[in-house]
Structure 1
Amino acid sequence: MAEPSLPTGMQTMSPAMAEMRAYPRYLYDQVAGCFGDRVWEIGVGYGTYTTWLREANKSVLATDIDAECLNAVAKRFAGDDQVTTAIVDLTDESTVKVQRKYLADSILCLNVLEHIQDDVQALMWIRENVAANAVMGLIVPAHQALFGRMDAEAGHFRRYTRKSLTSVFQQAGWQVDQTRYLNLLGAAGWWYHNRLRKDAGLNDRSVNHQMRGADRWLPRIASVTDPLTGWLAGLSVLAIARVK
């Protein structure tokens, strides 16, 4: 009997994510400072980050495992010769290798690595197929103690700590410049819905209602708390790493 396929694309997200702008922008801004001119975006989703990269005059290799997401982004940027789209499956080396010709000097990878069972191998393949000294800005879910139903529904294999994420990068041959946690208050909300309630899934009405509301104020709170608690805990963990 064949194993069920893992969720991809919109299946990995709460519906409210399609309407959120301030929180995705907050995440993007945490890593945007490390980008050069040629950015490989791994996991395009709704194309939100692609738009911001183009507004910053970056050339973008927009990739995803999900054809529906990728087709939507390709349609949105049709006629823009600075956006290239391609299917990339981080469990299939051939789809990663073919991107070598792009010579990306930067990689944007937000909330993708947790979906990959062999995360070390995926990071190794990426490292082998980018420009020398390329830099990656990556964000993943933090703290395995927060893992619950919503993680399982989204197809997450794990959540990370600063220590475990550093170890994964180093095993894959990367040099880690920094790690820090983001959004401590968001971790409390995730714990409530994902661990205390336990019955809240990605499509839960109250979860999505709160996400829409939090999009308006949570980034402002995180901008105050992150400098104080980035060493300790958060909903997400960030890493900036470079090819050695």
Structure 2
Amino acid sequence: MSSKPYRQYFGRDLEAMGSAENYHHWIIDEFKPYIRGHVAEVGAGSGNISALLREYAERLTAFEPSDNMYPLLFRRFLHDSKVCTIHNTLKGQHQQFTCALDTLIYVNVLEHIENDEKELAQIHEALKPGGHALIFVPALPFLFCNFDRQVGHFRRYLKKDLIMLSEKIGFKSIKAKYFDLAGIIPWLLFFVLLKQTLNSRNVNYYDKHIIPITRIFEKAIAPPIGKNILFIIQK
């Protein structure tokens, strides 16, 4: 994938998700036991996830290649000595970060990268031995629709495919779980059938009224499928 299209599209789908506080906290709470030391988030957007990560990291590096999102990220952490922001990808800084990171986070990013196998190999190279990659991606290929294409998604995943791909690189799979079962029906209705786009009003409603209930349910019973996959691997 060339850098130019990445810089053009990346971040547009994050703008409407900026207020999804319950959703973001749920993701980070799942990741929390593995967040330690020098942490990096790739595709940090305007910094909503990074703002949560910094509470658990000794230091945080936030990568954002998008020309329209990086200024927001930069200004947000300009006076935060704990956070370093970089206007680039991990690949673009690979020499600086070889075996340098304890934890790497990709939240709704890996699906934007055409060669995800190569990106996982880059992650493996950047992590210290025993380090963890915490990955959150869209799930279920049958949900792939025009909206996915518009925001630059190359794919949606199945758990087994992520596990096979990461083990091929040399990772150990720690946790792979489907996430947000309740989100499947709205996605099918609004994005697959009605071909709508993401808007902040719908995001706010879902985050406020549906996510708290879904989180309680999925804590008690692991869903057999979900709109997303939460995936944790170790070098």
Number of the residue aligned with 2:134? 137
1:55 is matched with which residue? 55
Change (3 A) 1:80 1:24: same
Instruction: Identify the residue that residue 196 of structure 1 maps to in structure 2.
Output: 193
Amino acid at match of 1:60: L
Aligned length: 232
Taking the aligned partners of 1:72 and 1:176, their CA distance within structure 2 comes to 34
CA distance in 2, matches of 1:69, 1:112: 14
Distance 1:40 1:179 in 2: 20
Distance 1:98 1:71, change over 3 A: farther
Q: Work out the CA distance in 1 between the residues paired with 2:26 and 2:181.
A: 14
Which residues in structure 2 correspond to 1:1-244 (within 5 Å)?
5-6=5-6, 7-13=8-14, 15-56=15-56, 58-89=58-89, 93-100=91-98, 103-197=100-194, 199-202=195-198, 207-227=199-219, 230-243=222-235
Q: Deviations for 1:31-56, whole angstroms, at most 9, x for unmatched residues?
A: 12211121111111121122112233
Aligned partners of 2:136 and 2:213: how far apart in 1?
A: 19
Q: Structure 1 length normalisation: TM-score?
A: 0.86
Question: Which moved further from structure 2: 139-148 or 230-239?
Answer: 230-239
- Which deviates further from its counterpart, 63-72 or 182-191? 63-72
Residue pair 1:12, 1:155 contacting (<8 A) in 2 also: no
Q: Give 2:96's aligned amino acid.
A: V
Provide the C-alpha distance between the structure 1 equivalents of 2:57 and 2:115, rounded to a whole number of angstroms.
Answer: 33
Deviations 1:47-69 (A, max 9, x none): 11221122335310111121332
Cα distance in structure 1, aligned partners of 2:182 and 2:226: 7
Misfit runs of 4+, over 6 Å: none
Q: Which amino acid aligns with 1:99?
A: F
When the two structures are superposed, what TM-score results if normalisation uses the length of structure 2?
0.89
The one-letter code sitting in structure 2 at the alignment partner of 1:236 is: N
Percentage identity across paired residues of the two chains: 24
The alignment partner of 1:178 has SS state of strand
Assess if the C-alpha contact under 8 Å between 1:46 and 1:73 holds in 2: yes
8 Å contact from structure 2 (residues 64, 89) kept in 1: yes
Within 2, Cα distance between the matches of 1:208 and 1:113? 23
**Where does structure 1 lack aligned partners over 5 or more consecutive residues?**
none
Give, in angstroms, the shift of residue 229 of structure 1: 5.3
Instruction: Determine the C-alpha separation between the residues in 1 that align with 2:79 and 2:17.
Output: 27
RMSD: 2.1
State the SS of the aligned residue for 1:134.
strand
Where does the alignment leave 5 or more consecutive residues of structure 2 unmatched? none
Distance 1:69 1:208 in 2: 17
